A and B are shown apart, each in its own frame.
Chain A
Amino acid sequence: MEYIRLKGLGVSPGIAIGEVYLSDKPIFSEYKERIHPSQIKKEIQRFRNALKKTEKQLIEIKNKIKKKLGEEYSFIFEAHLLILKDESLIGEIENIIKKEKVKTEWALFVVNNKYEKIFQSIDDSYFKQRFSDIKDVLIRINKNLREDGKSPALSKGKKILVCHELPPSDAATVLSRGDILGVALDMGGQTSHTAILARSLNIPAVVGLHNIVNYVKDGDKIILDGTTGEIIINPPSAVIKEFISKKQRYDDYQKELTKIRFLEPVTLDGFSFSLQGNIELPEEVELTLSYGGEGIGLFRSEYLYLHYPDPPTEEKHYTAYFEVAKKAHPYAVVIRTVDIGGEKEIPHLEIEKEPNPALGLRAIRLFLKRKELFKIQLRAILRASILKNIKILVPMITQLEEVKEFKNLLEEVKSEFKKKGKKFDEKIPVGIMIEVPAAANIVDVLIKEVDFISIGTNDLIQYYLAVDRTNEFVSYLYQPFHLSILRVLRYVIEVCNREKKEVTVCGEMAADPLSALVLLGLGLKNFSMNPVFIPKVKKALREVEYKEIKKIVEKALSLKTAQEIEEFILESILSKYPQVFLKKPEL
């Protein structure tokens, strides 16, 4: 049997070994897989074999239906057979294969799209719908390109779900069924709904595989590694063995993490800290709590705006916010007001693409410009606040005026509520994000106006160092341990502690054990991060004495370069606390 390795994007860690369950919604591959010119002949033959197989199937079906229901019903397969033999269609597909040097799957996709367009432009609704017949035939051919076009009856038991695309509505029902060992998708990215759901349900998942549906059939044995993004189809037994022991190591590591969950969040010398989750879907609350998180330090509300064609209604906002609040209760939930801008065009919000979105009309700037639109969000937050565990966080503050303007707007909505006699948390805390260097510099002024501060280190570092870390030419300059960053963090944390206002770091620095230790040394108590990192960070913080770390970090601040600082801190901590970092399994 052939043994194939594919590489996608691992979006939910863990290893799954099992049989393929190919979701029976055959959709065309949207991946243009090229072939060598010498392969064209073979590819055409492959296409023609699929045609033959399809013809045989259609004749069988036609005769069966004719016997059972009469010619009236079997006729449509007659039309399908004619479509299958239509020379202009076949010629077109073969031409694409030859000229573009591509796999048949891509040619079918192109032709399908072409006819979809042609038929869509027809006014008559009967003729318009005939596209479905053409699509049916093309799908059948597509299926038959695989070695075995038949799908064997599903045996019972847990399976690895393989499909082209999993729409959000399906993802929730399918993944929570309990019989899915892992998920492999052609489409999707790190932040797709399926990826997030799989992570929160602890189901290993690999996405972005382009055309795995064309490589497997039901019942194939596959290995899926959600950590590395690797898929192995029909692996030899030696490889299976290797992955079984890998899986064992990973599961042991998971157990270790789970143990940590029940331990107190306190340092060796009695300094209490709190770890919370950064999430964007209500479904992730359980995950956060299961990892020992104490509430939601950052609920991103952008999802509601970006994944639907229309602006979300108040009801939609409310449902999401209340669900999060209810699930997290009695812990607190910090809802960040919309943080979007011109990195992409969003027609329903009338947002245009900007040449320099990081410095443009985004987050609170956009919010204040479109007050009526975003008041909907405030109303929904207030409605959801009846459990008194919601806090409002405003992103991208640059100046005091913005804070005041936002608070005025909130007051307007509040008095609207009072007039109507609607219930809400009258003392709902309002906080701001410190991301813009200017805001960090005047945090002593801003803090008088707010109840809490959240430091978004990712953006703060980007703006402070003027470095886009996704730009490979300058990403080396992105250094969280740059002296300037440590100094500004020290200043912001000190001001908050002095004013007795809560301060949280919700950037990636909070999720990295070494950086988290540095933040602890700067006096930080609250850390919010992707839930999966909570156990690691908790372990590190529990293994040390706050006073010692404080001393080490203070000393480090007298050094000059980021490298010197990092080396000094790492060496000092490791020599005193060799067990501080949880060892990752060797994967």
Chain B
Amino acid sequence: MIEKKIKIINKLGLHARAASKFVNLANRFKSKVRIIKNDDEIDGKSILGILTLAATQGTEIILRVEGEDEEKAIQALENLINNKFQEPE
């Protein structure tokens, strides 16, 4: 299991479009993906879960990935977040 604290830096936060990209990417890996924000923990492959987190710009989340391809997965997801979901801002 790998855990990483990451800050959401894109302007709109984990909004519907970013969440869609996140879920689509997470689904390409076999590992379980969890997102933790404060006391809330949700399934990173559930768009509903991500939307209910309401993670706006500047929110700190913890990514917890567990499974055979966990290293690749966390790397890819972290890149997505740090690249601001490839959104023009």
Closest to B16 in A: A79
B1-46 with Cβ < 8 A to chain A: 12, 15-17, 19-20, 23-24, 43, 45-46
Q: Is the CB of A82 within 8 A of B24?
A: yes
- Which residues of the partner chain B approach A118 to less than 8 Å between Cβ atoms? 52
A317-353 with Cβ < 8 A to chain B: none
Q: Is the CB of A88 within 8 A of B43?
A: yes
Closest to A78 in B: B20
Instruction: Select which of A83, A126, A134 is within 8 A of B15 by beta carbon.
Output: A126
In angstroms, how far is the closest chain B Cβ from the Cβ of A464?
Answer: 60
Interface residue A122 (Cβ < 8 Å from any Cβ of B): yes
Q: Mark B34-63, 1 if CB is under 8 A from A, else 0.
A: 000000000101111101101010000000
Given contacts A76-B16, A130-B16, contact A83 B48 (CB under 8 A): yes
- Which residues of the partner chain A approach B23 to less than 8 Å between Cβ atoms? 82
Given contacts A79-B16, A79-B17, A126-B15, contact A86 B54 (CB under 8 A): no
Q: CA separation between A78 and B21, bound complex, in Å?
A: 10
- Which residues of the partner chain B approach A303 to less than 8 Å between Cβ atoms? none
Q: Is the CB of B52 within 8 A of A75?
A: no
Interface residue A60 (Cβ < 8 Å from any Cβ of B): no
- Which residues of the partner chain A approach B54 to less than 8 Å between Cβ atoms? 122-124, 127-128
Q: Is the CB of B46 within 8 A of A89?
A: yes
Q: Is the CB of A79 within 8 A of B47?
A: yes
Q: Is the CB of B52 within 8 A of A79?
A: no
Given contacts A75-B17, A76-B16, A79-B19, contact A127 B51 (CB under 8 A): yes
Main secondary structure of the interface of B (DSSP, over half): helix
Q: CA separation between A123 and B51, bound complex, in Å?
A: 13
- Which residues of the partner chain B approach A126 to less than 8 Å between Cβ atoms? 12, 15
Q: Is the CB of A86 within 8 A of B46?
A: yes
Q: CA separation between A128 and B54, bound complex, in Å?
A: 8
Interface residue A133 (Cβ < 8 Å from any Cβ of B): yes
Using a Cβ cutoff of 8 Å, how many contacts connect chains A and B? 52
Residue tally, chain A, CB below 8 Å to B: 22
Given contacts A122-B52, A122-B54, contact A86 B20 (CB under 8 A): no
Q: Mark A117-145, 1 if CB is under 8 A from B, else 0.
A: 01100111011101001100000000000
Interface residue A215 (Cβ < 8 Å from any Cβ of B): no
- Which residues of the partner chain B approach A134 to less than 8 Å between Cβ atoms? 48, 51
Q: Is the CB of A130 within 8 A of B51?
A: yes
Of the candidates B12, B19, B52, B56, the one having the most CB atoms from chain A within 10 angstroms of its own CB is: B52
Instruction: Select which of A75, A88, A115, A124 is within 8 A of B56 by beta carbon.
Output: A124
Q: Is the CB of B52 within 8 A of A86?
A: no
Of the candidates A78, A124, A127, A128, the one having the most CB atoms from chain B within 10 angstroms of its own CB is: A127
Interface residue A87 (Cβ < 8 Å from any Cβ of B): yes
- Which residues of the partner chain B approach A78 to less than 8 Å between Cβ atoms? 20
In angstroms, how far is the closest chain A Cβ from the Cβ of B89?
Answer: 15
Q: CA separation between A333 and B17, bound complex, in Å?
A: 62
Given contacts A123-B54, A130-B51, contact A87 B20 (CB under 8 A): no
Q: Mark A202-235, 1 if CB is under 8 A from B, else 0.
A: 0000000000000000000000000000000000
Q: Is the CB of B46 within 8 A of A87?
A: yes
Closest to A134 in B: B48
In angstroms, how far is the closest chain B Cβ from the Cβ of A390?
Answer: 56
- Which residues of the partner chain B approach A130 to less than 8 Å between Cβ atoms? 16, 51
- Which residues of the partner chain B approach A88 to less than 8 Å between Cβ atoms? 43, 46, 48-49
In angstroms, how far is the closest chain A Cβ from the Cβ of B60?
Answer: 16
Q: Mark A70-104, 1 if CB is under 8 A from B, else 0.
A: 00000110110011001111000000000000000
Instruction: Select which of B16, B20, B48, B56 is within 8 A of A89 by beta carbon.
Output: B48
Q: Is the CB of B20 within 8 A of A75?
A: yes
Closest to A126 in B: B15
Q: Is the CB of B47 within 8 A of A83?
A: yes
Q: Is the CB of B52 within 8 A of A119?
A: yes
- Which residues of the partner chain A approach B12 to less than 8 Å between Cβ atoms? 126
- Which residues of the partner chain A approach B19 to less than 8 Å between Cβ atoms? 79, 82
Of the candidates B20, B51, B52, the one having the most CB atoms from chain A within 10 angstroms of its own CB is: B51
- Which residues of the partner chain A approach B51 to less than 8 Å between Cβ atoms? 119, 127, 130, 134
Q: CA separation between A295 and B45, bound complex, in Å?
A: 68
- Which residues of the partner chain B approach A122 to less than 8 Å between Cβ atoms? 52, 54
Q: Is the CB of A79 within 8 A of B20?
A: yes
- Which residues of the partner chain A approach B20 to less than 8 Å between Cβ atoms? 75, 78-79, 82
Q: CA separation between A134 and B52, bound complex, in Å?
A: 11
Q: CA separation between A133 and B48, bound complex, in Å?
A: 10
Q: CA separation between A87 and B23, bound complex, in Å?
A: 12
Q: Is the CB of A115 within 8 A of B48?
A: yes
A-B complex: 10 closest residue pairs judged by Cβ atoms:
A127-B54, A82-B47, A122-B54, A88-B46, A79-B16, A130-B51, A79-B20, A86-B46, A124-B54, A86-B48
Given contacts A75-B17, A86-B46, A127-B15, 12 further A-B contacts (CB under 8 A): A82-B19, A82-B47, A86-B47, A87-B43, A87-B45, A115-B48, A119-B52, A122-B54, A126-B15, A127-B52, A128-B54, A130-B16
Q: Could you jot down 18 A-B contacts, CB within 8 Å? A: A75-B17, A83-B48, A86-B48, A86-B49, A87-B43, A87-B45, A88-B43, A88-B49, A115-B48, A118-B52, A119-B51, A119-B52, A123-B54, A124-B54, A126-B12, A127-B15, A127-B52, A133-B16
